[in-house]
Amino acid sequence: MTEELTKLFGLAQQFSSNSWLQICAALLIAGHIIVFVDKVHGQLHKSADAWKKTLKAGLALAGATVQYLNRMAGGDIKRKRRPPIQATLLAGDVLIYWAFAVMNFLYSAIFLMLLALHRPHELKLWAITVSAILVFSFFSMFYRNLGAKSFGQLVLLYKEHAENRGTVVGMSGAIACLFAAIGVLEYLAWPLFH
């Protein structure tokens, strides 16, 4: 079997070395490609209406999905935002803003410590570091104020629905689920940073 294959490959190499045979093979392959493209083009042309209907249906489905998600999240203008969703969003804002505030504060403190420990005698580096610390402190104050504003809105939301215990429990449960989800994501992502 192997001997026959070897002879066959040798024969193929002899024929393939002929330039006329190579041109004929290239023309044959090109003809097959042209016929295939023509058939595909014909089928696509015949099914153009079906493709248009499919595209319209897909766009309508996407629009309906976005509208449903927007309505579910309480973002519909005609519908008042649901308290649990609103409480979750406010709690997320508080967490993000205060996390950024703490991060900027830590950056400024670390810069100052590194400068004091390693380069206490370079005045130019002191000037650059103090400028950076002022910028970080400004952003830290900015994010802290945004977080305090969102926290104040969250407290007002609780006061507004204080009489309805079911709503209060729903808001607290939604916030607890948010923090639990963040904790699980951090736990799962922790090995990736080590």
Residue type (1 letter), 95: L
- pLDDT confidence bin for 6, thresholds 50/70/90: low
What is the C-alpha to C-alpha distance for residues 70 and 62, in angstroms, rounded to an integer?
12
**Domain edges within the chain:** 2-72, 83-193
Look at residues 86, 75, 91, 83 and name the one whose alpha carbon lies nearest to residue 175.
91
* Cβ-contact 158, 171 below 8 angstroms: yes
pLDDT of residue 16: 61
* Cβ-contact 100, 139 below 8 angstroms: yes
188, pLDDT greater than 80: yes
pLDDT of residue 152: 92
What is the C-alpha to C-alpha distance for residues 156 and 170, in angstroms, rounded to an integer?
16
pLDDT of residue 126: 78
* Cβ-contact 140, 105 below 8 angstroms: yes
* Cβ-contact 87, 154 below 8 angstroms: yes
Range from 6-10, 24-28, 82-86, 183-187 carrying the lowest mean pLDDT: 6-10
Question: Using one digit for the tens of pLDDT, what is the confidence trace for 23-82?
Answer: 766 777 777 778 788 887 777 777 777 778 878 888 888 888 877 777 665 555 555 668
